Amino acid sequence: MLPAFTSLRHFATNTMKRAASEFRMTVPWGEVRGQVWGPSEGRPVLCLHGWADNCGTFNTLIPLLPKDWRFVAIDFPGHGLSSHRPDGCFYTFPLYVADVRRVVEALQWKRFSIIGHSMGESFSALYPEMVDAVVLLDTYGFLPTQVTDMFKNMRKGINDQIQYDNKTEERKERVYTYEKAKERLKAANPSLSDQSADILLERAVREVEGGFVFTRDFRINLTAFVSCDILFKIKDVSFFRAKEGLFKTFILPDGYVDMILKSWTDQKATIVDVEGDHHIHLNKPESVASLISDFLQSHSPDKPESESNNNQSSKL
C-alpha cells in the first residue's frame, strides 16, 4: 500500500513570491515533510536539498521556474520538519536514496526530473530509468573513493554511532534565542545571506519554552560511513559549478577535482560555471533560474532524444 498523505496545508510567507502547499506522507518511523508548487498534472520535478539544509533552500528559486510544472521539495529524514530516524539507526546515502524512492512511490511518478543541491543527487545513479534529466547545483556529484578510505570511514561511522547511542542521558536540546540560532546557522554556512538564513530557519528551528531548538537530528553530523563511487547513467545532466562554491571552499585531495570534472566531461554532461557561492540558487536564484528552465525545457520528456541534444548545445 502506498504511504498516506496526511494533509496538504496551504501557506505563503513573505519570503516567497509563490504559494506552496505543505507535503506530508507517512513512513514506518513517522513522516516525511516538504513543499509542493504547481498543478498536479504539471511536469514532475523532484527537488532535493543538501546536507543539514531543508527544502526551504528552493523557496526563492522555484517561483522563478515555469508555473505549469509540478515541483515537490522534501525535507530528508532528520532534516527540517521530517521525522528523525529511530534510535540506533544510521544516516547514510543509500538510506537517503531509499527515502526518495518511498516519496516517488507515494507520488506515483514513473518518470521525472531532479534538481539537486549538494548531496541531493544520488537517486539518479541508482534509478536512471526513472529520471529524464538532472540539474546539479554546486555538488561533486560523486567522490572517487579508495577501498582503504572506505573501510576507514565505515569504521569511524560505526564507532561514532555506537558512542552516541551510549550517551542517551547526556543529550539535551540546546535552547537559543532566534538571533543566536541564526548566528549558529550562518557560522556553519558562511555563504548564506541574512534572508536565506531566515528562509532555512522556517523549517530548521521550532519554538519551545525559552526560545528555539534546531529541528535537525544531531546524528546527521556523524560520519556517513557508506561511501559510493557511482557515476550517473543518464545522459541529460546539467552541472552548475559556483565559482566561490564547494570546489573552492572544501579542499579535496590532489587530483580529485580533475578526476571529477573528467568523468563529467566523459559523460557529456553540460558543465556551467556561474558567479556565486554554494547557496547561489537560494541567495541569487535569478542568476541560475533561466539556465535551469532552458535546460529542462530542452530535455522535455516528450521530446525526441536528438532534438534534446540539439537544444542542449545551443542553449548552454
In this structure, what C-alpha cell is assigned to residue 142? 560523486
| DSSP letter for each residue of 248-312 | HHSPPPTTHHHHHHHHHHHTT-EEEEEEEETTHHHH-GGGTHHHHHHHHHHT-TTS-HHHHHHHH
How buried is 138 (Cβ within 10 angstroms: 0-12 exposed, 13-18 middle, 19+ buried)?
A: buried
Residue 81 CA to residue 312 CA, distance in Å, equals 37
Q: How many CB atoms lie within 10 A of CB 154?
A: 15
CA dist 250 → 166, 219, 257 (Å):
31, 21, 11
C-alpha cell recorded at residue 256: 580529485
**Which neighbouring-strand residues pair with 87?**
none
The CA distance from 287 to 279, in Å, is 12
Of 82, 113, 118, 308, which one is the catalytic site residue?
A: 118
Is residue 7 flagged as an active site residue? no
> Judging by beta carbons within 10 Å of its beta carbon (0-12, 13-18, 19+), is residue 242 exposed, middle or buried?
buried
**C-alpha span between 47 and 69 (Å, rounded):** 12
Q: How many CB atoms lie within 10 A of CB 105?
A: 12
Planar angle of CA 166, 172, 177, nearest 5 degrees? 155
List the catalytic residues.
Answer: 118
